[in-house]
Amino acid sequence: MRAIRIFLLSGLSLAILGDAALAAPPQPAPKKAEAPPPPRAASLGDLYERLARTTDESEAKGIVASIQRRWMRSGSDTADLLLSRAMEAAQDDQPLAIELLDRAIALQPNWAEAWNKRATVFFMMGDMTRSMADLRETLSREPRHFGALSGLGIILQSNGDRKQAYEVFRKALAVNPFLADVKKAVQSLEPDVGETSL
């Protein structure tokens, strides 16, 4: 009889404890270690700073590629496509390339790269006046655009404005010290403008 009583009490205890466990609010699961946040994409400013500081040419190439990818994105798929098609057309049909770039600029007037690409096509057409005007538009939107600075320096040098070309080339090198042709241009201009060598 005593064995039955113990059995019933233990069964009753288990039933009470089981009901209490079911009635209790659920306990939160133990916290898992939170994954670290994904690395923040470097801003364009960060990339320019890294480019100016690095002494490693291989690293510089990667940074330049990242900067150029950023330049190519306007925020508008339509404008991006127009620019892409314009650059395809530029080799064979420059007037079409200009028309496409005009449309990209109309859609995204603050997109420096659209102005820069149109400057490039004008340069290919031999229209240095409009090329220079578009390079200045590029630089008003992105003063660190070393491609536009280099192009502007080339036009200034070809126009005989050696001092201004020298200054613009130096600005390009301050942003991207790995522009070999620009370094050569600076060195060739130094005797004329009275500056010391790099």
User: 131 vs 15, which has greater pLDDT?
Assistant: 131
Average pLDDT over residues 73-91: 97
Summarize pLDDT for 6-49 with one digit per residue, the tens: 443 444 344 434 444 444 555 555 555 555 544 556 799 999 99
Q: How far is CA 39 from the centre of its chain?
A: 16
Summarize pLDDT for 139-184 with one digit per residue, the tens: 999 999 999 999 999 999 999 999 999 999 999 999 999 999 999 9
Which whole-number Å values give the CA distances from 50 to 64, 69, 76, 131, in the listed order? 10, 16, 27, 29
Nearest to 127 by CA among 165, 149, 97: 97
Nearest-angstrom CA–CA distance, 91 and 97: 9
Structural domain boundaries of the chain?
Answer: 42-71, 76-125, 143-198
Summarize pLDDT for 97-109 with one digit per residue, the tens: 999 999 999 999 9
> Which pLDDT value is given to residue 36?
52
Which whole-number Å values give the CA distances from 25 to 14, 28, 31, in the listed order? 18, 9, 17
Nearest-angstrom CA–CA distance, 69 and 92: 24
Nearest to 166 by CA among 23, 77, 174: 174
Q: Look up the pTM and report it.
A: 0.77
